[in-house]
Amino acid sequence: MRFTFVTLFENLVKPYFEDSILKRAIERSLFEIDFKNPRDYAFDKHKKVDDYKIGGGAGLLLKPKPLSLCLDSIIEKSPNAHIIITTPVGKLFRQNDAKRLAKREHIVFVSGRYEGIDERIIEEYADEVFSIGDFVLTGGELASLVMCDAIARNIEGVLGNRESLSEESYEEYLLEAPSFTKPNIFKKNPSPSEFLKGNHGKITALKKTLALAKTKFHRSDLYLKSKILQRIKEDEK
Ligand code: SAM
């Protein structure tokens, strides 16, 4: 698996992979990363990558030509590369996307800057267009990193314990139940006594109840979906 970051600011992205789990995963060849700078494909005297908006409007846009040449050079070597363009007007990136995309061979993240990217690049090259939330960042580098991290931890072998993935938030539309570690009592507040008794059936049942309560409290939208899923499963029995 390879992730390519198309960015004017490689140094904003690279350090994230120089520590912890993702660093170790790269050292174990579970995935690779590389970088392409659209400026290397701008062939005018000033290596210009941005320009004013046609029709007026505030700010500058990334010009289509350097980005297009940059993406062509990637596709030429890797025809199956899956190109993801980051933009606040994309569909929301979700855990299901992270799982699905972890099966790809090569993912290319395109980071916009300034007021974004010429729309024709999106039309011509995007396999998918993602936003990471309803807010506007200064550039796509953080969005690309967020998605890459979420995808990478779903690649076989990246996490030591595969069970961590199946018991996580967003499985079957539920948030994870509250978790506790030692000490059993912290600031006079005990962890649930049931967790200490070692009856795994009861612990699982309690965790399910707590996960439902937490989801209902924080994310009523997901809670409704989880209830519907539960009902479908019961009907199928
Ligand atoms: N003018 C654009 C708009 O209002 O929709 C915002 C452009 S933003 C300042 C510059 C770049 O940051 C975008 O091209 C995109 O790559 C990235 N970006 C900003 N917010 C994002 C978000 N919520 N999700 C993904 N990418 C985002």
If one residue of 49, 50, 87, 92 were mutated to test the ligand 1 pocket, choosing by the most ligand atoms within 8 A of its CB, it would be: 87
Q: How far is the CA of 29 from the centre of ligand 1 (A)?
A: 31
Structural domains of the chain, ranges and CATH numbers in brackets = 2-152 (3.40.1280.10), 167-236 (1.10.1270.20)
Residue type present at position 219? R
58 lines ligand 1 (CB under 6 A): no
Residue 22: the pLDDT is: 98
Range scoring the smallest mean pLDDT among 11-15, 160-164, 209-213: 160-164
pLDDT digits over 102-127, tens only?
999 999 999 999 999 999 999 999 99
Residue 66: the pLDDT is: 98
Higher pLDDT, 144 or 236: 144
Residue 67: the pLDDT is: 98
Q: What is the pTM of this model?
A: 0.95
Which long-range CB contacts under 8 A does 186-195 form with residues at least 24 apart?
none
Neighbours of 200 (CB within 10 A): 8
137 lines ligand 1 (CB under 6 A): yes
Measured over the CA atoms of residue 218, residue 221, residue 225 and residue 228, the dihedral's sign is: positive
Q: Where are the alpha helices (DSSP H) in 7-84?
A: 10-13, 20-27, 64-77
Which residue minimizes the CA distance to atom 1 of ligand 1? 115
Residue 83: the pLDDT is: 98
**Which two three-digit tokens encode residue 77?**
């070597």
Residue 166: the pLDDT is: 79
